Every structure is written in C-alpha cells, then in structure tokens.
Chains A and B, each alone.
Chain A
C-alpha cells in the first residue's frame, strides 16, 4: 500500500495475498457473467462449465485463508497491514458466496432451458449486467484502494434492489396468469434473488475496502430499496380489471 517493509519477504507475501484476492474476484466476475449468459442463451454446456468452475473459486478461498492465517501467525501484523489481511479473509468469503450464487444461477438455467421461454426471462440479463458492473467496480476499487469508487458502486446496489422488486412483481403476475408458468418463473425468481444477493456481497466488499483505507468501519447505513419482502400482487380473479401490469 505505501512504501516497502524493512523485511522484504513480508511485502512480497502481502502482495501475493492481494494478487490471490484479485484473481479470485476476476474468476467470480467471469462466473457471474457466464451464468447470466447461460440463462439468456439457454446454453446448457456453458451452465455446466460454470458449475464445474465453482470448485476453483472455493480453492482460491482456501488458499487465501491459509495465506492470511500464515501472515497473522508469522508477522503479527499491525496497522494497515492488519486491516488488509483481515480484509482479504472477509473479501474472500464474500467472493466465495458470489461464486456460489453464480453456480446456482447456472444450475437453474438448465431446467429453465428445457421449459418454454417466459417473458420475464428478458429482464434477467438487465439485472445481470448491473450486478456485473457493481461487482467489477468494487473489485477494481480493491486493486486500486479507491474508496470513493467503492462507495459509489455500493450506492448503485439500490438500482439493483429496484430491478429485483419489479421483477419479483412481474414473476408473481405471470404465475397467476397461467399455472404452467410457475416452474420457470420460480427458477427465475431464485435467479433474480441470487443476483440481488450478489449485489449485497459486493456492497460488503465495498465496506471492507472502506475499513482498510480509512481505518474505521463505514457508519452510514445503506438505504435499502428491496421492497419485495412487502410485495403483494392480487390474483386476477379478485381484481379482473387490472390483471397483469406489464
């Protein structure tokens, strides 16, 4: 981060830890992208690749944990070194979860590809693109220790929550229209939820970056726009006039 340690191997080990986290982030980013594309293009082969590659994400997490524990034990880090090592542990956990969600999206894309397409599937790539942007910006700000960029990306999670809430309503409406939509729409609902959760882990990472750079936890609570917890869509039979609101 700043100038070199007197003990050069210490700097090299920290650098290696940083590289591992960046590589893991890059891999998870690619996993999310591929999973969303597998949904959109109904591509089973790509879905299987994503599912298979999740092991590599987990492998990175183990490697980062081991390296961080080794540094804690052998170097007794202090100050920003300590914050950075703790951050690596936390960020690796968040990235691992992001990887899991990507794998789950890929899994759900397989049954989805065997069912007739439903219209709300069109909204998934839009949500996917936004998630990818947020994840990318947060991971870029990790490499550059750019806390302003991290916090800006964190604020965009609201847009994601808005998209999720509207997709949630759209899916409920579709399920009510035709019970045959229930299976694909439920898969899409979980996919959307997974994307929304990926956004939450990206905001965690942004907050960890703030802690490393500034030295204190971020105190302002991020405003949440996920209203799906409170969403109610009335079935058409009770409200014949409105039906679905596209």
Chain B
C-alpha cells in the first residue's frame, strides 16, 4: 500500500507560518507525475544526505532518469564517492536560489531555465527560506519538496515523515517509480 504522504501537513518548525499561501501535501503518485511531466526539472540536494546515505542512491536514480542534480553544500563529495557525476553540478543552495529567481538565467548547463525544482535532504529552515524566495520572486518555477518535512513554502510537498525513515524512503521510491512510468 502506498505511503500516505498527505498526513501530518504541519510546518516542521511549528512557528513557520508564512501567510495565506501554504503548501499542499500530495501523494507520491501525483508528485511523480508532475515531475515526469516537467520539461526542465532540477533536483536540488543538500547535506542531510550524509546523515542518511541511502538517499544519495535515490538521488542518483533520479539523476539517471535525466534530471540534472544541483549538489549543494559539500554533497558533491557523496556523488564522487559513488562514482556518479554525470549531470551533477556543485553549487551552494544560496547562489543557486539567487540565480533561480532571475527569469533570464540560463541554468547550470547554459541550456535554459528550469520549470520545476525538487528539494531533498536540505536543512529545513534554509530550504524553507529559499522556497520562500522563489514563492515571492519567481512564481514561474514549480517548487516541489520530496524531503522528509512538510515544507510550507513549497507548492507540493510531503507531510512530515521525519520520524519514520522507512516510510520516507518508501515514499521517495514511489515518486521515482511514478516518474519512471
């Protein structure tokens, strides 16, 4: 049975209530379908992957499906250690978000802007604020979180799965499966 990722949709840091526009929690199939439909998606991964190394493998799975990966903080190291650097770009989350807010930016590969960004494994408060930048200053990009937290400033997110790693892993696997369909 699919993991219910729509439950527990309260901000991970409970006081993180931005205003009238707050994220909806979606099930894995819907998120997977949206990501599959994306023309220029970008997977953005952060240093929390080191705390749950299996997530590197899941990121690589997504990368192998043709989704370029922005390896923020020092996560590039995890990809190098796993021998996968094909479409992995080393860049800080902060400058990346800064570029993403400009509509004339041509992307990490110079091939054009992105229509969907997918955050995973990023320190919660930091990711939330970067989502907020995009939410307010470039609304052309769809903001998707497949992190273990309910991300209030995303467009689409899971509910909180932070305390159930198995369910969280399963949920990400389901998204990947839906993308592959």
The reply to whether chain A is a binding partner of chain B is no
Q: Chain A interface (Cβ within 8 Å of chain B)?
A: none
